[in-house]
Amino acid sequence: MSRTQVRRALISVSDKTGLLDFAARLVAEGVEIIASGGTARALRAGGLAVISVEEVTGAAEMLDGRVKTLHPRIHAAILADVGVSDHRNQLYAENLAPIQLVVVNLYPFEEGVARSDISKSEAIELIDIGGPTMVRAAAKNHKWVGVVTSPDQYEQVLEAVAAGGLDDELRLDLARMAFYRTARYDSAIVAYLESLAGDVPERMMLALDRVTELRYGENPHQPAALYSERGRASWWNRANQLQGKEMSFNNYLDAEAAWRLANDFVEPTAVIVKHANPCGVASRDSIQEAFLTAWECDPLSAFGGVIGINGTIDEPTARLIVSNFVEVVIALGVTDGAAEILSRKENLRVLTAPPPEGDDLDMRRVEHGFVAQQRDEVVKTKPGKLPEEWESVGERPLSTDLLIDLRFAWIVAAHTKSNAIVVARNRAAVGIGAGDQSRVGASERALRQAGDRAHGAVVASDGMFPFRDGVDSLGQAGVVAVVEPGGSMRDDEVVDAANEHRMAIVFTGVRHFRH
C-alpha cells in the first residue's frame, strides 16, 4: 500500500473550527501552506506563515471574492497525475509544485437557507463555486491527493501525515466523502431553487447520511438502517435517549406517529400508539390523568405500545408507565424523580425531544421512485371554537362541550389509518376503528371497543359517509354528534339519519385519509 507524503497543502475554509491547531500541526510536520482570503488572514493572525493564493496565481481576487481559486495554476497543481512524466514536465515548465492535500469546507448554504428571514440575493451569494471545484478536482485525483471537507476529519489526516503520508485507503475514503459532500451541497441548492417555483418540486435530489444500522427492519430477516437528511433538524435527531435499548425500525415509525399526534394538541395530552395507529388518546388538566385515561381506551392494544406525551413526565405518571409493559416513551421532558422511577425498567426506551416541525414533504417509496405530497395537517383551533370551514348541517344544536369533543376526535381521526372512526367522550378516545376496508367495519370495531361508553359520545370519521348505514349504527349505539368531511352524493340521506337519531352533524369540507 503506497503513501502520499504531504509536502504542500491548500486550505480554504468557511468553517474555521479547529483550523489554527490543524494548520500549525501541518507546519510542524514540514508542510507548506497555501491559503485563500479569509483563511490566510486567520492563519497569519494566529502566527503562521502562509503563501496566499494570489502569490501562486499572480492574480488578485475579483468580483467581491467570487473569483479567487478558479485559476489554472491552482487546479494544475491539484489535478496533475505525478506518475505521468508529461504532467511533471508541464508543472516544472510553469514553476509549479504539486499539492498533496486540499482542505476545503463550503460556504454555509444549507444553514443559510434554513433561516426564515434570508432573501434570495443572500442565498445566491452563499452558493460556493470555487470550493466545490477544488474539492472535486482533488477527489478525482485521489491517487495522489487527499481531500478534507470537514473539521471532523482533521485528526485522522494529521495522524496519517505524521505517520509518513496518506495511504491509498484513506485517500479513497476521503474522495468518497468529498463527492458525497458536493452532491449533497448541490441537492440543497436544487431544493432551494425548486422551492421558489412551487410547493411540489419538479425535480428532487435526496442526500441522506446513514445515522445508524438497526438491529433489523419490520421483521428479523430484513436488514435496516436509519438515514437523515443533512441540514434538516428533525425531532428524532435532536432527541435525547435517557435510557433503554436501541430504537428499532418499528420503534421509530411508532414514535413518529405518537409524537406528531401528541403535538397536535395544545392541552396536556397522552397518546398510545400500536402499529402506527393510536389505540388511546386523552387530553386532561394533568399529564398523569391524561395518561391514565388514554390507557383505559384499549388496554389490550396498549400492551407493548409507544407513548407520546406533549409535556413533562412527573413521578406519578412515571409510576403508571412502569406498572405497564411499554416499549417507548417520548415526552418534552422528564423530571429527575420520574427518570429514577423509569430507570427501574432498564429496557424501556425513554426519549425527550422537541416538537416535530411538520413542514417537510411526505414521501413514500414505490418501485424505483417515490410519491410525494405536502404533509397533511389538521387546522388547529382552540377547544370549543368552530373552525371557519366547519358547517353544522343537522337539526341538533352544537354545545360547547360537543364542539370540544368533536375537535378532539377529529384530530385523532386525522392521525389514524383510513378507514378511520374515532369515538370520543370528555376529551378522550373510547373506541378507535383503524385501517378497515369499509367505513361500516371501522364503525363496528370502534363501537365494540367503546361499549357503553358510546352513549353520549361523539364520532369523527376521516372520510365521508357514503351511505346512511354508518350513521344509523352510531345513532343506535347512543352517539350524539358526528363530524365528517361531507361531499357524498347521499349527504341528504346521511343528514336525515343524524336528525332521526337526534345527532348533531358537522361537515368539515376536508378529509384526512391516511394510507
What is the residue-wise DSSP string for 459-500? EEESS--SSTHHHHHHHHTT--EEEE----TTHHHHHHHHHH
Give the CA distances from residue 343 to residues 203, 330, 340, in Å, rounded to whole numbers and listed in that order: 47, 14, 5
Residue ranges of the chain that CATH labels 3.40.50.1380: 3-195
What nine digits make up the cell of 116?
426564515
Q: What number of residues does the chain have?
A: 515
Name the CATH topology of 3-195: Rossmann fold (3.40.50)
Name the CATH topology of 236-352: Cytidine Deaminase; domain 2 (3.40.140)
pLDDT value of residue 267: 92
Neighbours of 470 (CB within 10 A): 26
* Residue 48 DSSP code: -
Taking the complete model, does pTM exceed 0.85, yes or no?
no
Q: Are 434 and 442 in contact (CB under 8 A)?
A: yes
Interatomic CA distance for residues 298 and 389, integer angstroms:
32
Interatomic CA distance for residues 474 and 454, integer angstroms:
8
Average pLDDT, the chain: 88
The DSSP H or E segment spanning 119 is: none
Closest to 429 in 3D by CA, of 274, 225, 255, 250: 274
Q: Are 387 and 379 in contact (CB under 8 A)?
A: yes
Residue 501: active-site member: no
Interatomic CA distance for residues 401 and 392, integer angstroms:
15
Helix, strand, or coil (residue 183) = helix
Q: Are 107 and 126 in contact (CB under 8 A)?
A: yes
- Which residues partner with 424 through β-bridges? 429, 458
Interatomic CA distance for residues 318 and 339, integer angstroms:
8
Give the CA distances from residue 504 to residues 8, 479, 481, in Å, rounded to whole numbers and listed in that order: 79, 9, 4
Closest to 491 in 3D by CA, of 509, 473, 476, 513: 509
Q: What is the CATH number of domain 387-507?
A: 3.40.140.20
Helix, strand, or coil (residue 336) = helix
Interatomic CA distance for residues 508 and 73, integer angstroms:
67
Which regions in the chain score pLDDT beneath 50? none
Helix, strand, or coil (residue 220) = coil
Q: Are 485 and 509 in contact (CB under 8 A)?
A: yes
Contacts of 424 (CB under 8 A, 6+ apart): 405, 408, 409, 412, 430, 457, 458, 459, 460
The DSSP H or E segment spanning 223 is: none
What nine digits make up the cell of 140?
478525482
- Which residues partner with 435 through β-bridges? none
Residue appearing with cell numbers 369515538: 423
What nine digits make up the cell of 306?
409507544
Interatomic CA distance for residues 90 and 399, integer angstroms:
87
- Check whether the bond before 250 is cis (ω within 30° of 0): no
State how far Cα 104 lies from the chain centre.
27
> Quick one: angle between helices 315-322 and 287-297, nearest 10?
20
- Angle CA 250–255–259, to nearest 5: 160
pLDDT value of residue 1: 66
Annotated catalytic residue, options 16, 71, 245, 275: 275
Interatomic CA distance for residues 216 and 210, integer angstroms:
15
Q: Is 246 exposed, middle or buried (0-12, 13-18, 19+ CB in 10 A)?
A: exposed
pLDDT value of residue 380: 62
Q: Are 123 and 132 in contact (CB under 8 A)?
A: no
Interatomic CA distance for residues 110 and 231, integer angstroms:
6
Residue ranges of the chain that CATH labels 3.40.140.20: 236-352, 387-507
Q: What is the CA radius of gyration of the chain?
A: 30
Annotated catalytic residue, options 75, 87, 140, 143: 140
What nine digits make up the cell of 216?
433489523
Residue 275: active-site member: yes
The DSSP H or E segment spanning 279 is: strand 277-283
pLDDT value of residue 312: 96
Contacts of 55 (CB under 8 A, 6+ apart): none
